[in-house]
């Protein structure tokens, strides 16, 4: 990063999904560093799904070249809000891809869900450094996505706290000596609840994560432990690790973010306070480390850290994801699509919390797929659409 500053350019950055929690934290870090050293980061493009108001506020502060909103219905609102700024404005799926294709050194890919696949690939295909916060890219089309990363010579940096932790502990030159990768899970807000208690869970309760501040969708995924299952699939592709060498442990304090075990019995772990600005800062400054205004970890104050095995009886979404990972092919794509429909229905109060895994399991059972992974973006999105259609049809009236 220093080389850009020394050249007086600043690092050019694009944020795909700038109004979400990861995007907002990224902007917080950019503003923090630009206050201390003006021009350290220059924003090329920002995108949002439908929050035109927040996107316009961000754009007026950061003055990007281009902004895009996915929902065409909010184009007029965004255009009016940015009147007189000279910022280019786009709307729709093609505009998101245009934002990703703009000339930026570093791209934060934090669009939620399968909708982030095409824009993130647009950034990858021009060989950018991509900070990946959209796990669905690898869940929906992992083989294809990683093939494009290699072909384009892009730099892919994981932003999820767990994968970022593994990345920091992963000795690539000793990859054959890695015995196990263990992702930690907080257990979510219902870690100690019974199945009977979880029958009456509300969206408000599910979105109240004990340690992290996240968007609604990922908060619900964390509450069902589906998020940890999706992260296992993501880790499989990111680190080329076989499914049977990937595991999960519940760690309620969210201090140890992941562990890498080696054949000599050594276990390397990355620790830190639960704050997304830490992994974002790691990727934003990469290959250098940059300062982040996060709470520093004090182990004496913590006193103790605890760990326990995940309960797949009370949290069957984790088992469903593990099964999809073992089956591979199109199974992870179907899993993710069905889950996105289920979570949306739960948040809209059209499906019970306990109905989320039941719906996902039904779709996975009924949706036929070959053992082959999607060979193109079109194939991946076609399978995604098929699973979504079936999930909607199976929703209770």
Residue in 226, 227, 230, 222 with CA at minimum distance from that of residue 189: 222
Mean pLDDT of the chain: 94
Q: DSSP labels for 218-281?
A: HHHHHHHTHHHHHHHHHHHHHHT--GGGEEEEE-TT--EEEEEEETTS-EEEEE--S-THHHHH
Cα(242)–Cα(155) distance, integer angstroms: 22
Q: What does the pLDDT read at residue 370?
A: 59
**393 falls in which pLDDT band (50, 70, 90)?**
very high
Domain 2-158, CATH among 3.60.15.10, 3.40.50.720, 3.40.50.880, 3.30.500.10:
3.40.50.720
Residue 369's pLDDT band, with cuts at 50, 70 and 90, is low
Report the share of the chain in percent with pLDDT over 70: 97
What confidence tens digit (pLDDT) does each residue in 282-307 have? 999 999 999 999 999 999 999 999 99
* Residue 275, C-beta contacts closer than 8 angstroms, at least 6 positions apart: 292, 294, 295
Given a cut of 90, whether residue 5 has pLDDT beyond it is: no
**Domain coordinates in residue numbering, the chain:** 2-158
Q: How far is CA 216 from CA 24, 117, 206, 348, in A?
A: 15, 20, 8, 11
- Confidence at residue 249, expressed as pLDDT on a 0 to 100 scale: 98
| pTM of the predicted structure, to 2 decimals | 0.93
Q: Is the peptide bond before 287 cis (omega within 30 degrees of 0)?
A: yes
Higher pLDDT, 146 or 375: 146
Categorize the per-residue pLDDT at 215 as very low, low, confident or very high, splitting at 50, 70 and 90. Answer: confident
From the list 199, 312, 194, the residue with the least C-alpha distance to 248 is: 312
pLDDT bucket at 210, cuts 50 / 70 / 90? confident
Which pLDDT score, from 0 to 100, does residue 162 have? 97
Q: Helix, strand or coil for residue 15?
A: strand
Q: What average pLDDT does the segment 95-101 reach?
A: 97
Residue 198: the pLDDT is 94
- Strands, E, within 139-205: which ranges? 155-158, 178-185
What is the percent of the chain with per-residue pLDDT over 90, rounded to a whole number?
Answer: 90
């Amino acid at each position: 990063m220093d080389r850009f500053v020394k050249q007086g350019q600043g690092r050019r950055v694009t944020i795909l999904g700038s109004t979400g929690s990861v995007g907002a934290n990224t902007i917080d870090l950019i503003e923090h560093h630009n206050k201390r050293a003006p021009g350290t980061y220059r924003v090329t493009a920002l995108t949002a799904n439908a929050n035109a108001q927040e996107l316009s506020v961000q754009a007026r502060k950061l003055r990007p070249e281009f902004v895009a909103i996915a929902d065409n219905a909010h184009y007029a609102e965004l255009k009016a809000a940015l009147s007189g700024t000279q910022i280019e404005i786009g709307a729709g799926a093609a505009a998101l891809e245009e934002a990703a294709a703009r000339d930026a050194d570093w791209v934060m890919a934090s669009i939620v869900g399968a909708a982030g696949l095409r824009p993130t690939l647009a950034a990858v295909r021009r060989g950018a450094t991509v900070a990946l916060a959209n796990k669905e890219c690898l869940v929906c089309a992992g083989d294809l996505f990683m093939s494009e990363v290699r072909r384009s010579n892009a730099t892919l940096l994981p932003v999820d706290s767990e994968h970022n932790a593994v990345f920091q502990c992963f000795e690539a030159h000793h990859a054959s000596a890695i015995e196990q990768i263990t992702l930690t899970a907080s257990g979510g807000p219902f870690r100690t609840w019974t199945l009977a208690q979880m029958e009456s869970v509300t969206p408000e309760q599910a979105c109240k994560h004990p340690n992290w501040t996240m968007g609604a969708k990922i908060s619900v995924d964390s509450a069902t432990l589906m998020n940890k299952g999706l992260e296992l699939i993501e880790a499989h592709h990111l680190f080329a690790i076989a499914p049977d060498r990937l595991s999960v442990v519940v760690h309620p304090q969210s201090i140890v973010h992941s562990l890498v075990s080696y054949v000599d019995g050594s276990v390397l772990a990355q620790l830190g306070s639960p704050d997304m600005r830490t992994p974002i800062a790691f990727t934003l400054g990469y290959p250098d480390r940059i300062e982040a205004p996060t709470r520093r970890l004090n182990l004496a104050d913590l006193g103790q850290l605890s760990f326990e095995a995940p309960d797949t009886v009370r949290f069957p979404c984790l088992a469903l994801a593990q099964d999809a990972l073992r089956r591979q092919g199109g199974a992870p794509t179907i899993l993710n699509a069905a889950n996105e429909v289920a979570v949306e229905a739960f948040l809209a109060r059209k499906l019970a919390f306990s109905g989320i895994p039941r719906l996902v399991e039904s779709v996975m059972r009924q949706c036929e797929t070959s053992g082959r992974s999607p060979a193109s973006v079109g194939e991946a999105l076609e399978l995604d659409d098929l699973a979504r259609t079936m999930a909607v049809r199976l929703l209770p009236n």
